[in-house]
Structure 1
Amino acid sequence: MKSTDDTSADTAPTSTYRLQLGPRFTLDDATDQLDYLQRLGVGAVYLSPVLTAAPGSSHGYDVVDPTRVAPVLGGGTARAALADKAHGLGLGVVADIVPNHVSVAQPAANPWWWDVLEHGRASVFARCFDIDFDRGPILVPVLADDGDGGRAALDDLAVTDGCLVYHDKRYPLAPGTHEPGAPVHRAHERQHYRLVSWRRGDSELTYRRFFDVNELAAVRVEDPGVFDATHAEILRWAELGRLDGLRVDHVDGLTDPGGYLRRLAECFPGWIVVEKILAPDEDLPQSWPVAGTTGYDALREICGVFTDPGGEPALTGLAREQGVETDPGTADDRARRQAATELLRAEVRRIAALLPAQPPATTPRPSAMAARQREEAVAELLCAFDVYRSYLPEQGDAWTRAVRRAIDRRPDLAFDLEVIDRRVRDDPRGEAARRIQQTSGMVVAMGTENTAFYRATRFVALNEVGGDLGRFAVEPAELHTAAARRAAARPHTMTTLSTHDTKRSEDVRARLAALSEVAEDFADAVRRWTGRRPLPEPALNLLGWQTLVGAWPIGTDRLAEYLLKAAREARLGTSWTNPDTGFEEHVRDWPGQVMADTDLRAEVAALAESLQGPGWSNALGQKAVQLLGPGVPDVYQGTELWDLSLVDPDNRRPVDWAARTALLERIESGWRPPVDATGAAKLHLVRTCLRVRRELEPGGYLPLTATGPAARHALTFARTSRGAARPDLAVVATRLPIALSGAGGWGGTSLALPSGPGVWTDRLTGRALAPATADGLTLAGLADLLDRYPVAVLVRE
């Protein structure tokens, strides 16, 4: 097999364009847009999951049958037609796959799960799922529970058409377990499963799931037979030459990520990237045969460099004054503990049960105390990782740090933690080691991303997947270092700014970056606004005002749904499992009340509109840096125009393809649009960058430095096209545009471009720079270069 780098170089696309498939946008609809994508300059179409998902699925991550393409998307015929047309246009095809779990929400829709429920341990599909059969029947937590443990809901069970029925859900009956006329409860008690209260899922579940989602059961792809069965269809596409790349979802949830990826690379010769959140100073294990991640590391760096570090004191002071947690570590720790001890208690209990019931000790502990203390030790360890998970036996540093940190924080649990450490180190491929590592990623994701990021809301542009709440901004030198490292080590990793998982779009974050330049004014405004129309919880209140300004103009229904989801994720005033109806009613009413308050609405609108231009500048700058920097850039559907979307499902709204196509036609005819509300300037930039990238296939990375009074506002770098001897592509972006304007603009600031023969031309404006001097040096005055757009894409012709 080729090395990872060789395979990536041969198969990596120049760029990708993510399409969200669903009942309202099928494979046929996607095929209809391929001509547009080719003209835009895209290298490969990147599809959300296409295998058969649960009935009514709007995203495809809840697969129920991995052996066939979803009929609702058009089935295998439509998939083949898309691939054929894409390849005919010179586009690659990349598919998103979900190896970690399948949906069991509607058992009748999932033939493998149905068979396991019907036959239990004897099912031929039992090996596919991570079920603890030794603990008795499979617990299925679906019954309503008004405080009675679900007992009253058992009266709603019925037997219909040979199935056990509970409202809209059907379950199989094992052969010979029900006679006509016999009590339903007797048949229920004779099954290989038990329907129980939905509240028991977090504490007593007997099958491994995805995070705390009971409806998603984990799949044991570490079993070769299960791997083959779940991957046969997608690998068949590759064998037919109709699939060029894979995006692997939630790789940290797998029992053995490295082993899985090595097996996948042996079977699939194309480009592979993994959805993996990296800590700021973390890298993928070198043994993984993949091109890289899906790009959240680049997102943090690129968006951070457009944020003003000077805004931190005012926003931190506002948050502290309002009663919002400002210590990221404290917020993170509290949220992780809640995830480990409440939401994932079933997983913690299963791990604790693998440990010695009575470790050697001078005085034996009562068994109940021993069990409770083992659970506490497991939970403490799971909360102590500074990365999502460790990868024993390949890498041990993260594991060592986590054990030491857990002992430092809970010395009273040192004995149990040392027992766990010895057990795992003695058998790093054993069940205890595997489950702890799998679950640590769940604790970090659910605690940090899904909870702390909705609690520590001093500046929500930081609260993004892969973000770091402790790093307010990124200095240009840090960005350059990271980009150079990416160019050298993982030149074919994916980079991104918006995805289906981001909590707010790149353009919302770009406007919030502009807000960081006027942090004191914003803080004063929030104090006034909160006095008039507060949200009922401080963290949500800060989130609400930032969201309103960042996504302005936004409809009240969209904003209300977003804030309600945010409040439930934060679990401060309400939650998914214990909703507070009064609190939620206040949240639902808030957007309408703000909009109805004429003076308040006018103030919000004025501030948002004052940030619009600087936000556009930031949006264009970060897009140019992403699209022409190292890595394979992904464009999320529709974001080639301004897009002020929030977290899913808001970011899966339909895309107006006709409007984009019409603007593209004008640009193709020579129109160079102004930077205005149409977003055509962003489309022009995206088209220019993608086509330049496809044309030049740039490599390497060389930071450039402007000189003059406004030098700190210029973010610049150069790259070298394939086959060229010296850099022939340069990107110039504007940082901190409000401060730049206040200081008088670019006057007297210039940029020396890499020397060499030829004339540099800005592909955005079509203007050529003055010819190089006798020594081959071109000096570009930034006032003239950036007079039309806040970015420049310079190519040495």
Structure 2
Amino acid sequence: MHHPSSTYRVQVRPDFPLKATAELAEYLADLGASHLYTAPLLVATPGSEHGYDVVDHSQVNPALGGAEGLTKLSQALKAADLGLVVDIVPNHAGVAVPAANPTWWDVLRHGRKSEFSNFYDIDWSRGRILIPVLADDPDALDHLRIEDGELRYYDKRFPIADGTGDGTAREVHDRQHYELVNWTRGDSELNYRRFFGIVDLAGLRVEDPAVFDATHAEILRWYREGLIQGIRVDHPDGLRDPGDYLRRLHEAAPDAWLVVEKILEPGETLPDWPVAGTTGYDAMAEVCGVFVDGSTEAFFDTLDHHLTGGTTSWQDLVHQTKSAIATRTLAAELARLARLVPEIEAAPKALAELAACFPVYRSYLPEGGRYLAKARSEAGRRNPQLIGVLDQLTARLRNPGDELAARFQQFTGAVMAKGVEDTAFYRWTRFAARNEVGNDPCDFGLTPDQFHEASENRLRSWPHSMTSLATHDTKRGEDVRARLAVLAEVPGDWTEVVRRWVRAAPLPDPALAHLIWQVAVGAWPISRERLLAYAVKAAREAGTGTTWVRPDEGFESALKAMVDKIYDDPALHREIADFAGSITPPGRSNSLGQKLIQLTMPGIPDVYQGTELWDHSLVDPDNRRPVDFTERRELLGRIDDGWLPPVDDTGAAKLLVTSRVLRLRRQRPELFTGYRPIFAEGRVGEHVLAFDRGGVVAVATRLPVGLSRHGGWHDTALSLDGNSWTEVFTGVGYGGTRLPVAELLHTYPVALLVKE
């Protein structure tokens, strides 16, 4: 396997197409990346902003520049000696615009007789394919019309089967292989598998070799022709058998660097798949966690209780949200499971309960059977009356060859993602820095020892796994999290201001209010429009005061009033700005520290677009805003001319750290092959996080507020072997065996030492 030294993620999309991406090649090479890593490039639903709703697997999206655009990108990358890693979506296809998706159109037109009827995971026992697109109105079908040999509903177009075109539009509709129904019926009655709760994304059956071949032919051609060297696999948990799928992909692309977007819960290990590793959420949880002061957790429990009156534990909240997703949002999927056990009357309740109690996203039978046992005992504890039924079901759910077990594994992943990431994370707002994909918010922080242990494990088990600090799916940008980590060092100050602010700008949902206040100071200065857009999304995801399906105007106007007050009340605005200002310098220390650690630790580091400067983005679509690459090029040029940037608003210090580490990883990979923790001596030694990768030593400052309370580094020192070392960021040389930390970290809160 050929693996990158580092990747740089670009959200290629219609307003930043392949041509614009090709123009980055020289800059990315200067930055030190070895591979560009792009969003999906196949044809997506017309107007798609992200590309994850592929409608045609046979060609490059014309909206991105088509085949010619990919060829030009490939040429530009080769000229700059860069490789290409591309994102693929094997689990589902976009069906929002049937006419744009040739295989779906054919299935709607010909039903089971379509040559593509096996492409999609459809339950044909119902007869017609349910399409939930009609208005919530009993007379909606009266708006159907026949035009150009198609059935039309407003701007939506559907095919008409041969020989069924006579009569009124309603009569013709009744003869089709599909049935258009009220949009509200989708969650409960849909008869095709979908991505999470999204009816516009239909599940593909890549377990069928013919479907695998058809959906991968173009991507594998890129691989064979040398256009791409790596593949990132989106959402493998939706697949019927991810292990089997990945074995086939690896066989088809044996030298490709394969990474899977697999979210591991803390302590969970990746199955033994023929891949290089994950996309790095596990590393993100560890890197961010080691910059959090774990000793103040009780303060935040008290504050959370005071603000919300909350008595629900994280575990109970997750059980509630996952139960609701399993029985309501994913009711159609639950019913499909229950139809496989018609003899058990309580099957729906028991299956939903097992999914709600499942401790990880899913199992990969025969691997992960112990998680089913855990779910079974927890479900029995919560529902003693179901124990008999649970035992009957788990006997079948343990068997990898059972259809029930296969579908249940696909179900639990969706229940976890929707119940936790998209709901509970927005309701349980004790400390938002840790509400991140791949982390359990109960893991308040990590000790250096825990971090070192995790890093040693990664080097041993998955040395070429991706590591990341931000992705297009993270809930908050990396520098928002770095600044919010400071709150754990000033819990008293935070308690005082936030208790005052919730009175000054009240909101009927106190948990959501606490989230918004944290995000406001974490992303400050932030525009009113961005903060309001975030607040509305957060409120609808939480689903307590308003929802996506039924927005509550009263609640949303209260939300707007709260956000407006932040900008329109001069005293409040000044106070927020002052508080954010007070946590910004230590936040920047954390930002540089976590960037250095992520880029130097075991694994292959990814830099999400733009994050080589400060990035205070929020959840998507905020994190897909345009990046000013001209500014980054100019700053990098100045650094290369010898400028040592201060740690200031420009973020150039972060660009210095990023470029110097990436270049070193690319030029001297042999320095990054080992891992040995280094412990500082002295009374504030716990404020140093350091390790030796085998000739290069990374040194970062932890808990900067506490460090300044101690009056700085004093006599803290690192013991190194008696070689000469050069500090990469400043160019200063050091010799001897004892290195005073105050001297080493005089200019920046981080250092990178290379053995001469």
Contact 1:49 1:95 in 2 (8 A): yes
* Residue matched to 1:582: 554
* Residue matched to 2:139: 152
What letter matches 1:792 in structure 2?
A
For residues 686 and 201 of structure 1, what CA distance do their matches in structure 2 show? 46
* Residue matched to 1:436: 408
Cα drift, residue 51 of structure 1: 0.4
1:704 aligns with one of 664, 667, 678: 678
Cα drift, residue 325 of structure 1: 5.7
For residues 268 and 747 of structure 1, what CA distance do their matches in structure 2 show? 55
Say whether residues 1:161 and 2:133 are aligned partners.
Answer: no
* Residue matched to 2:497: 525
Secondary structure at 1:176 match in 2 = coil
Contact 1:30 1:82 in 2 (8 A): yes
* Residue matched to 1:50: 41
* Residue matched to 1:111: 102
Contact 1:328 1:456 in 2 (8 A): yes
Say whether residues 1:279 and 2:253 are aligned partners.
Answer: no
Secondary structure at 1:383 match in 2 = helix
Aligned residues: 752
The alignment's C-alpha RMSD in Å is 1.1
For residues 343 and 287 of structure 2, what CA distance do their matches in structure 1 show? 51
Which 10-residue stretch deviates more, 588-597 or 645-654? Answer: 588-597
* Residue matched to 2:301: 316
2:179 aligns with one of 166, 171, 194: 194
Contact 1:42 1:691 in 2 (8 A): yes
Secondary structure at 2:675 match in 1 = strand
What letter matches 1:70 in structure 2?
N
For residues 34 and 313 of structure 2, what CA distance do their matches in structure 1 show? 42
* Residue matched to 2:159: 172
For residues 185 and 417 of structure 1, what CA distance do their matches in structure 2 show? 45
Contact 1:15 1:632 in 2 (8 A): yes
What letter matches 1:467 in structure 2?
N
Say whether residues 1:17 and 2:5 are aligned partners.
Answer: no
* Residue matched to 1:466: 438
Unaligned runs of 5+ in 2: none
**What are the Cα deviations for residues 660-696 of structure 1, in whole angstroms up to 9, with x where unaligned?**
0100110111111010000000000000110111122
For residues 377 and 141 of structure 1, what CA distance do their matches in structure 2 show? 28
**What are the Cα deviations for residues 776-795 of structure 1, in whole angstroms up to 9, with x where unaligned?**
xx211011110100000000
* Residue matched to 2:700: 733
1:791 aligns with one of 740, 750, 755: 750
Unaligned runs of 5+ in 1: 1-6, 360-369, 721-727, 773-777
Contact 1:311 1:520 in 2 (8 A): no
Secondary structure at 1:486 match in 2 = helix
Moved over 4 A (4+): none
What letter matches 2:696 in structure 1?
L
* Residue matched to 1:223: 208
Cα drift, residue 326 of structure 1: 5.8
Contact 1:249 1:274 in 2 (8 A): yes
* Residue matched to 2:82: 91
* Residue matched to 2:622: 650
* Residue matched to 1:633: 605
In the TM superposition, what are the counterparts of 1:529-544 in structure 2 within 5 Å?
529-544=501-516
Say whether residues 1:557 and 2:516 are aligned partners.
Answer: no
For residues 311 and 83 of structure 2, what CA distance do their matches in structure 1 show? 46
For residues 136 and 416 of structure 1, what CA distance do their matches in structure 2 show? 30
**What are the Cα deviations for residues 170-215 of structure 1, in whole angstroms up to 9, with x where unaligned?**
0001111122xx2211111111001111111111110000000010
1:337 aligns with one of 300, 304, 323: 323
* Residue matched to 2:482: 510
State the TM-score, normalizing by the size of structure 1.
0.93
Cα drift, residue 708 of structure 1: 0.6
Cα drift, residue 311 of structure 1: 2.8
For residues 581 and 296 of structure 2, what CA distance do their matches in structure 1 show? 19
For residues 465 and 622 of structure 2, what CA distance do their matches in structure 1 show? 27
Contact 1:498 1:635 in 2 (8 A): yes
What letter matches 2:231 in structure 1?
L
2:461 aligns with one of 489, 510, 521: 489
Say whether residues 1:377 and 2:363 are aligned partners.
Answer: no
What letter matches 1:737 in structure 2?
P
Cα drift, residue 43 of structure 1: 1.2
For residues 182 and 89 of structure 2, what CA distance do their matches in structure 1 show? 28
* Residue matched to 1:725: none
What letter matches 1:635 in structure 2?
V
* Residue matched to 2:241: 256
Contact 1:291 1:493 in 2 (8 A): yes
Which 10-residue stretch deviates more, 399-408 or 630-639? Answer: 399-408
Which 10-residue stretch deviates more, 478-487 or 577-586? Answer: 577-586
* Residue matched to 2:375: 402
Cα drift, residue 508 of structure 1: 0.1
Secondary structure at 1:576 match in 2 = coil
In the TM superposition, what are the counterparts of 1:609-688 in structure 2 within 5 Å?
609-688=581-660
For residues 443 and 315 of structure 1, what CA distance do their matches in structure 2 show? 28
Contact 1:349 1:375 in 2 (8 A): yes
What letter matches 2:144 in structure 1?
L
Say whether residues 1:761 and 2:726 are aligned partners.
Answer: yes
Cα drift, residue 535 of structure 1: 2.2
Which 10-residue stretch deviates more, 289-298 or 309-318? Answer: 309-318
Contact 1:561 1:588 in 2 (8 A): no
What letter matches 1:374 in structure 2?
A
Secondary structure at 2:738 match in 1 = strand
Contact 1:594 1:600 in 2 (8 A): yes
**What are the Cα deviations for residues 552-596 of structure 1, in whole angstroms up to 9, with x where unaligned?**
000011000111000000010011112111111222332222111
What letter matches 2:668 in structure 1?
L
Check 1:680–1:459 CA distance in 2 against 1; reply closer, same or farther (3 A cut): same
Secondary structure at 2:9 match in 1 = strand
